[in-house]
Chains A and B, each alone.
Chain A
Amino acid sequence: MNILTCEKVRKVYGSGENQVVALDGIDLTVGKGEFVAIVGASGSGKSTLLHILGSVDKPTSGTVMIDGTDLSRLNQTQAAIFRRRKVGLIYQFYNLIPTLTAKKNILMPLTLDKRKPNQEHFEKIVNTLGIADKLEALPSQLSGGQQQRVAIARSLIYRPALLLADEPTGNLDLKNSKEIMDMLKLSNRNLEQTIVLITHDEKVALEADCIITIEDGRIIQDEQRR
């Protein structure tokens, strides 16, 4: 069963002479429980693709279906609700709310949806990520690795259909990078979490089941590893 389907996705910035084609006819499917890595050089269009998949941006043409929702038809409010229910976004620079504690950051998508968290699930996530003792700290009081764990916990708390990670280890040292990747793999295997990871680091990409290579906005390679 496919959780993500992209058909002829094209994204163009600017117009006339300044026109830049960021994505040029992307066709992509990701099945439930898959761990996909998208690799490519800087400017290849991988971040644009991730933003479109995360309903942060819209394609110029083509369709993107995630868990039965056509992203191109969503207005701003619908896109925001979609983000807090269906996709989890993890950024290189964590993107936590600086004025809220780690716990409140983690629970924020549920709070916005006026849903109560499942305590057992919450504890499982924070224990697995090793941040149970940091829940009352503000993001500025946490290290980079701890902030990224909080960001991951936030994206897992509402059991999204798809977890999108944009260079999640790009700002971390080797030890923290390895730990974060282990946690993503763990959530993929234990929780059957579908993950699309964007990276330019081949070592990181090798952890995924499938590696898709993008160049100049086109998929040039789709390598199934497992």
Chain B
Amino acid sequence: MWKEYSSGYMKHNRTSGLSVIIAAFISALLLSLLCGAFYNLWKYEIERIELGEGGWQSRITGELNEEAIAAIKNHANVKDAIVTIKNHANGKDAAVGIKGDGDIEEVAAIKEYASAEEAAVRDEGEAETTVELYFKDMRKVFADTLQIAEAIGIPPEQVSYHYGLLAMYLIRSSQDPAPRLIFPLFLVITGIAVLSLIIIIHNSFAVSMNARLHQFGIFSSIGATPKQIRTCLLQEAAALCAVPVFAGNLFGVLISWGLINLTNVLLGTDVPGRHEAVFGYHPLVFGLTLLLTVITIWISAWLPARKLSRLTPLEAIKNTGELQLKRKKRSPALALLFGIEGELAGNALKAQRKALRTATLSLVSSFLAFTLMQCFFTLSGISTRETYFERYQNVWDIMITVRDAEVDAFGETGKFQKLPGADSVVVYQKAMAKRIVTEEELSKEMRSFGGFSHASGSNVTPTEGGWLVNAPVVILDDASFLAYCEQIGISPQLDGAVIRNQIRDVTNPDFRHPTLMPYVKGEAETSVLRQSGKEELTAEIPVLAYTEEVPVLREEYATLDYYEMVHFLPSSLWREIKGQVGGCGEELYIRILGAEGAALAELTALQEEAVQIVSPNYTVESENRIQEYETNEKQIQGMLAILGGFCVLLAVIGAGNVFSNTLGFVRQRKREVARYMSVGMTPAEIRKMFCIEALVLAGRPVFITLPVAVLAVWYMLKASYMEAGSFLAEAPFLPIAAFLLAIVGTVALAYYLGWRNVRKINLAEVLRDDTMM
């Protein structure tokens, strides 16, 4: 009987069922998309960790002999073990894989090879062996590694774990203090999504079920038990949702596939530290998503079904599900603007407040997030462009970073300086030293703002003779240093340093428009550089000049520590003093300026040629200014597209809720309309009322967002010392207006469809209904 009743109802009330179908589809799609995206993010993160740090789970380091390695291999839970032998004396190393499940002969063969490699590495001194372990059962990694270490006589402090990787499998140790929140974050977001969806779909079910409260009251009065009513409602829910849930899940997988590919296109794969994300989908993920969706929908249907089945027959028969207010409410603004229609619309919205809560929250937060995001990225884009790309536009075209090289011993400088297509090449390195600045040395301008009185203890240390300040040393190749001397108008020579004699008024925090002034008087003919940390080790060098003009390098000075005193030195002088001063960085930089107005293709060719000079002997990284600018633009656009996509998803949830209300509340709203008409409200006035409702619902995000966005932008402008005019000239009015129009259009459509159903009213018939109380 119930089956017949339900199928009959669903057949004749397609609109009411439609809102449930839409809600179930959207929920399934969102959950599937979320799970698909998270699975791929999780997979990507694991790949990233494995590519960068290796896929080992734990590591044992020490002097390990063959027996120890064999013992490791023989442990029942060890799947793979990679042995690396490093000789600190000669810098040689060798890596040998030992497969845990290989047979004895295979292992012996590997061992033999390993021994040969080892011999080559060991022959010049003491070697250290590291065994990277891969386990069959990863969850036992902590216990089993310790057990292995103990068995081979290695103390626990020589055991390390790949906490970052293990955390991705939710394997945590109390020894790891890092929060590692990625996986828990995924779980929390999924949980929030499930709860949010339950609220939305629950509402659709409630609307659809409440519309038949009267009928269930009648059923109950003739003896239907609460369980029978509940079962009937849940059966209907299952019948309505089966297809949309499956379809939504499939679409979700499809969209997550699209999202991953889009991410590759938008964020690029040529960015350092980023690799191509390959879409993956495990059947288990599909099964889990489907289960999650079914549970979500079942809870959503069960909640109103339970509530409905518990009503007494009298309550059910009396209840019309009509919009009611518990307390008197006022809508003065709407009444003032639109008259009685405004007041009725305001009251109707207040009466639907609970049902429209999700819509309001989703629409407001999506628009707010979208607006703030657009404003933030615009501001950040302007700032990056002004402070980086435009500022350094004529400073560099190609930057090459060479690892483990020293500028005074670097033999390729000449080759770089002869590169065809390169207008200017500087090879330089940075070191960190200290220097004492005496009271007498200070310029009068520097004294005017209080000298070192504003300096923090971490940057400046008062000493007996003055103040110990940081003295970054920029060591230029000799040719570039001579050119620099010519640039600042002094006689080119290599036996001294040039000191940057400039400090900003530290009392003015506006970093965009700093007040610059001389740091010292510039009278001292020598400068004493001290080793950082061992200040008693010093080197006195002649000062060739004090200047505000710095070499053309992609470097910023005194940005974090306003009191640092930068010294520019030729590499030949550095060779003489480096023993005392030390503090030299491990990286050497090559700054290349190409021909003026060179295009990307020319710079790329120049970059390739330059890299070829050093890559055979060194580890190098290279950057290309135009390429970097384009990549940066692409990344910003990518971030905007991805974050914007989430805002759109949020808006879709809101719009779905509006649709489910306007399409689901038809019967109740027909009654409401009948009442208005019976007291003489014309169809045009009722239409006006519906329009006001839609306008308020769609306009609310603007009214809430506008002041918040103005405040946020004002704050961001203030914090970044940017002028409002610069922002307004590039303010993202168009995308924000487009997003708003989409919200307004969707809400208008939902109300139009709702109105189309409601207006088809037979007033006499509705008034004849005995539930018209």
A residues within 8 Å of B by Cβ? Answer: 47-48, 51, 54, 56-57, 76-77, 80-85, 89, 91, 93-101, 104, 108-109, 111-114, 136-138, 140, 154
Do A112 and B681 have beta carbons less than 8 Å apart?
Answer: yes
Do A89 and B678 have beta carbons less than 8 Å apart?
Answer: yes
Query: Is B619 interfacial (CB 8 A cutoff)?
Result: no
Contacting residues, chain B, for A85 (C-beta < 8 A): 680
Do B680 and A81 have beta carbons less than 8 Å apart?
Answer: yes
Do A56 and B681 have beta carbons less than 8 Å apart?
Answer: no
Whole-angstrom distance between the Cβ of A179 and the nearest chain B Cβ: 20
Whole-angstrom distance between the Cβ of A59 and the nearest chain B Cβ: 11
Bound-state Cα–Cα, A140 to B683, Å: 26
Query: Is B708 interfacial (CB 8 A cutoff)?
Result: no
Contacting residues, chain A, for B348 (C-beta < 8 A): 99
Whole-angstrom distance between the Cβ of B683 and the nearest chain A Cβ: 5
Contacting residues, chain B, for A93 (C-beta < 8 A): 770, 772-773
Do B683 and A77 have beta carbons less than 8 Å apart?
Answer: yes
Closest 5 CB pairs of A and B: A84-B680, A99-B347, A57-B764, A83-B680, A80-B682
Do B764 and A80 have beta carbons less than 8 Å apart?
Answer: no
Do A77 and B682 have beta carbons less than 8 Å apart?
Answer: yes
Candidate in A48, A51, A76, A98 with the most chain B CB atoms within 10 angstroms: A98
Do B328 and A112 have beta carbons less than 8 Å apart?
Answer: no
Query: Is B675 interfacial (CB 8 A cutoff)?
Result: yes
Do B772 and A95 have beta carbons less than 8 Å apart?
Answer: yes
Do A99 and B323 have beta carbons less than 8 Å apart?
Answer: yes
Whole-angstrom distance between the Cβ of B351 and the nearest chain A Cβ: 6
Do A140 and B328 have beta carbons less than 8 Å apart?
Answer: no
Contacting residues, chain B, for A57 (C-beta < 8 A): 763-764
Binary contact track B297-341/A, C-beta < 8 Å → 1, others 0: 000000000000000000000000011111111000000000110
| Residues A97 and B344 in contact in the complex (CB < 8 Å), given A56-B764, A91-B767, A138-B328 | yes
Query: Is B677 interfacial (CB 8 A cutoff)?
Result: yes
| Residues A98 and B763 in contact in the complex (CB < 8 Å), given A84-B679, A91-B772 | no
Bound-state Cα–Cα, A136 to B329, Å: 11
Do B328 and A109 have beta carbons less than 8 Å apart?
Answer: no
Whole-angstrom distance between the Cβ of B340 and the nearest chain A Cβ: 5
Q: Contacts A98-B322, A98-B351, A136-B328 given; 16 further ones with Cβ under 8 A?
A: A51-B763, A54-B678, A56-B763, A91-B678, A93-B772, A95-B675, A97-B676, A99-B348, A108-B340, A111-B340, A112-B680, A112-B681, A137-B328, A138-B328, A140-B324, A154-B679
The contact of B323 among A81, A98, A114, A137, by CB within 8 Å, is A98
Whole-angstrom distance between the Cβ of A75 and the nearest chain B Cβ: 10
Query: Is B768 interfacial (CB 8 A cutoff)?
Result: yes
The contact of B679 among A76, A77, A112, by CB within 8 Å, is A112
Whole-angstrom distance between the Cβ of A142 and the nearest chain B Cβ: 12
Do A83 and B324 have beta carbons less than 8 Å apart?
Answer: no
Query: Is B685 interfacial (CB 8 A cutoff)?
Result: yes
Do A81 and B770 have beta carbons less than 8 Å apart?
Answer: no
Contacting residues, chain A, for B340 (C-beta < 8 A): 108, 111-112
Binary contact track B349-373/A, C-beta < 8 Å → 1, others 0: 0110000000000000000000000
Contacting residues, chain A, for B770 (C-beta < 8 A): 93
Candidate in A48, A77, A97, A101 with the most chain B CB atoms within 10 angstroms: A97
Bound-state Cα–Cα, A67 to B99, Å: 104
Do B773 and A56 have beta carbons less than 8 Å apart?
Answer: no
8 contacts between A and B (CB under 8 A): A56-B678, A83-B678, A89-B679, A93-B770, A99-B324, A113-B680, A136-B328, A138-B327
Bound-state Cα–Cα, A154 to B679, Å: 9
| Residues A109 and B679 in contact in the complex (CB < 8 Å), given A56-B764, A98-B323, A99-B323 | yes
Whole-angstrom distance between the Cβ of A46 and the nearest chain B Cβ: 12
Bound-state Cα–Cα, A140 to B322, Å: 11
Contacting residues, chain B, for A95 (C-beta < 8 A): 675, 678-679, 767, 772
Bound-state Cα–Cα, A175 to B675, Å: 27
Contacting residues, chain B, for A47 (C-beta < 8 A): 768
Do B679 and A51 have beta carbons less than 8 Å apart?
Answer: no
Bound-state Cα–Cα, A154 to B678, Å: 12
Bound-state Cα–Cα, A30 to B1, Å: 52
Whole-angstrom distance between the Cβ of B332 and the nearest chain A Cβ: 13
Whole-angstrom distance between the Cβ of B341 and the nearest chain A Cβ: 9
> Which B residue sits closest to A136, measured CB to CB?
B328
Whole-angstrom distance between the Cβ of B354 and the nearest chain A Cβ: 14
Contacting residues, chain A, for B351 (C-beta < 8 A): 98-99
Contacting residues, chain A, for B344 (C-beta < 8 A): 97, 99-100
Whole-angstrom distance between the Cβ of A169 and the nearest chain B Cβ: 15
Whole-angstrom distance between the Cβ of A47 and the nearest chain B Cβ: 6
The contact of A80 among B322, B325, B329, B677, by CB within 8 Å, is B677
Contacting residues, chain B, for A54 (C-beta < 8 A): 678
> Which B residue sits closest to A140, measured CB to CB?
B324
Whole-angstrom distance between the Cβ of B335 and the nearest chain A Cβ: 10
Whole-angstrom distance between the Cβ of B657 and the nearest chain A Cβ: 21
> Which A residue sits closest to B766, measured CB to CB?
A56
Contacting residues, chain A, for B679 (C-beta < 8 A): 83-84, 89, 95, 97, 108-109, 112, 154
Query: Is B409 interfacial (CB 8 A cutoff)?
Result: no
Contacting residues, chain A, for B326 (C-beta < 8 A): 140
Contacting residues, chain B, for A76 (C-beta < 8 A): 682-683
Bound-state Cα–Cα, A109 to B682, Å: 11
| Residues A51 and B764 in contact in the complex (CB < 8 Å), given A100-B347, A138-B328 | yes
Do A138 and B325 have beta carbons less than 8 Å apart?
Answer: yes
Do A98 and B325 have beta carbons less than 8 Å apart?
Answer: yes
Contacting residues, chain A, for B325 (C-beta < 8 A): 98-99, 138, 140
Do A56 and B324 have beta carbons less than 8 Å apart?
Answer: no
Contacting residues, chain A, for B684 (C-beta < 8 A): 77
Do B682 and A56 have beta carbons less than 8 Å apart?
Answer: no
The contact of B675 among A81, A97, A109, by CB within 8 Å, is A97
